[in-house]
């Protein structure tokens, strides 16, 4: 049976935490919630890996080998990426009767 490392489990927990905080601040996530969760988890996992390579001041807050500060920054970066793409991306045209029909 494959062993699941603690960094993946902590990345999932941290990604869900920051997603919940972002939804609380924004008020709603709508249909982009799965993308926000996915990129927050991926960003947390990648942030931990990058923080391990950089070292230095990023090693201040840790849970075992998991670096909380760079993982949080990665999760927030993923959330911001989804929000920016959803705001800057194309919008759907409304369907239904308009004023000129």
pLDDT for 23-77, tens place per residue?
A: 999 888 788 899 999 999 999 999 999 998 887 887 788 888 889 999 999 999 9
Distances, alpha carbon 31 to alpha carbons 12, 83, 89, in Å: 20, 12, 14
> Please, are residues 7 and 45 in contact by the beta-carbon 8 Å criterion?
yes
Distances (CA, A) of 51 to 4, 19, 33, 38: 20, 21, 26, 20
Q: Report the pLDDT value the prediction gives residue 72, as an integer from 0 to 100.
A: 94
Q: How far apart, in whole angstroms, are the C-alpha atoms of residue 74 and residue 25?
A: 18
Examine the pLDDT at 98 and tell me if it is beyond 90. no
**pLDDT for res 3:** 74
For residue 100, the model assigns a pLDDT of 58
Tell me the pTM. 0.81
């Amino acid at each position: 049976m494959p062993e699941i490392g603690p960094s993946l489990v902590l990345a999932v927990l941290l990604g869900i935490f920051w997603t919940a905080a972002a939804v609380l601040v924004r008020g709603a996530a709508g249909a982009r919630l799965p993308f926000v969760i996915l990129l927050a988890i991926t960003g947390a996992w990648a942030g931990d890996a990058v923080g391990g390579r950089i070292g230095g001041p990023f090693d201040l807050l840790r849970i075992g080998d998991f670096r909380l500060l760079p993982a949080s920054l990665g999760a927030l970066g993923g959330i911001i990426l989804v929000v920016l793409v959803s705001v800057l991306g194309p919008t759907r045209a409304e369907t239904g009767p308009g004023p000129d029909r």
